[in-house]
């Protein structure tokens, strides 16, 4: 079997035209210009590269955006005051603070300060609580993008066994809850899971967010699995790889997301979609 490639890049571009641009247009017709603000502290090159992708996609969607950059000497109080200003700025519909932050600033204090109605990342405790309860709210971008790309690939969730490897607060835990809310049977595995292969071999849908290069190989999965690879790593030879060994897994999987061009573009898509959603809610 040669797997169908679930191209997040293609799905995001298609949905941009089919869904996001028309939603922005109808907001514009009501004199609403959706606006995203990205806050960057310091000079992390990976953060700058992620932000460039977000800015590019925001441009394509036709929304306003601004990136506020501060030196890594900024104090926690100063950053919290900036967040307060953004919470109160009626021209801003969604904003996010790019992680990682310098060690002297607490990411959880920063996230707690973000108003849930402008929480473009879906990271606040209220947003996470709503996701858990299955209530409408701004959802965490990577999990939201993963669920959407699986649906777009044609796979069903109801009654299927979704196995998640990874238990982070921003991918593993929320994607498991979202899959459960879609009526899947869900198993969460992680670095301490015993007999991991037993679970991986049972997966109808396997979501790998373990943070280790090429951790899952084709011989571990059953024929016909849908595989979503959340990892991204640069090898010593300079090649980008995921948490899944693509070559072997694509021989067994029914469908598989590539790295790059898989989950990454769907995360960006969800961030822009959340900003539009926040603008729609604010304009009712």
Catalytic positions are: 54, 98, 121
- CB 216, CB 244: distance < 8 Å: yes
Nearest distance from C-beta of residue 233 to ligand GUN, angstroms: 14
Taking CB under 6 A as the criterion, which residues in 17-46 touch ligand GUN?
Answer: none
Binding of ligand GUN at residue 50 (CB under 6 A)? yes
Binding of ligand GUN at residue 97 (CB under 6 A)? yes
Of 95-103, 131-139, 217-225, 243-251: span binding ligand GUN (CB under 6 A) = 95-103
Binding of ligand GUN at residue 98 (CB under 6 A)? yes
Task: Pick between residue 96 and residue 208 the one whose CB is nearest to ligand GUN.
Answer: 96
- CB 153, CB 168: distance < 8 Å: no
Among 119, 121, 204, 277, binds ligand GUN (CB under 6 A): 121
| Maximal CA-CA distance, the chain | 57
- Is 238 exposed, middle or buried, given 0-12, 13-18 or 19+ CB atoms closer than 10 A? exposed
Binding of ligand GUN at residue 163 (CB under 6 A)? no
Per the omega criterion (within 30 degrees of 0), is the bond before 145 cis? no
Among 51, 82, 92, 96, binds ligand GUN (CB under 6 A): 96
- Is 240 exposed, middle or buried, given 0-12, 13-18 or 19+ CB atoms closer than 10 A? middle
DSSP annotation of 116 reads: G
Nearest distance from C-beta of residue 167 to ligand GUN, angstroms: 17
Of 94-102, 124-132, 174-182, 255-263: span binding ligand GUN (CB under 6 A) = 94-102
- Closest by Cα among 20, 14, 59 to 36: 59
């Amino acid at each position: 079997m040669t797997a169908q490639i679930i191209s997040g890049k293609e799905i995001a571009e298609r949905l941009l035209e089919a869904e996001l641009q028309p939603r922005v247009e109808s907001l514009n017709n009501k004199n609403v210009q959706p606006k995203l603000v990205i806050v960057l502290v310091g000079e992390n090159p990976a953060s700058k590269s992620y932000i460039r992708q977000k800015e590019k996609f925001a441009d394509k969607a036709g929304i306003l955006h601004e990136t506020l950059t501060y030196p890594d000497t900024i104090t926690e109080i100063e950053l919290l005051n900036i967040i307060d200003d953004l919470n109160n700025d009626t021209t801003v519909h969604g904003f996010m603070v790019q992680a990682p932050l310098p060690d002297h600033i607490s990411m959880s204090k920063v996230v707690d300060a973000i108003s849930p109605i402008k929480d473009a990342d879906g990271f606040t405790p209220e947003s996470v609580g709503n996701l858990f309860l299955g209530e409408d709210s701004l959802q965490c971008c990577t999990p939201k993008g993963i669920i959407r790309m699986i649906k777009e690939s044609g796979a069903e969730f109801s009654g299927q066994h979704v196995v998640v490897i990874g238990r982070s607060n921003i991918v593993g835990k929320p994607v498991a809850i979202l899959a459960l809310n879609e009526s899947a049977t869900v198993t969460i595995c992680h670095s301490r899971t015993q007999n991991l292969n037993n679970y991986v071999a049972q997966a109808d849908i396997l979501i790998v967010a373990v943070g280790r290069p090429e951790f899952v190989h084709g011989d571990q999965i059953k024929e016909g699995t849908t595989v979503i690879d959340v990892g991204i790593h640069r090898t010593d030879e300079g090649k980008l790889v995921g948490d899944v060994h693509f070559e072997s897994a694509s021989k067994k999987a029914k469908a598989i997301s590539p790295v790059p061009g898989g989950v990454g573009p769907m995360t960006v898509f969800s961030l822009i979609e959340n900003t539009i959603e926040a603008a729609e809610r604010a304009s009712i």
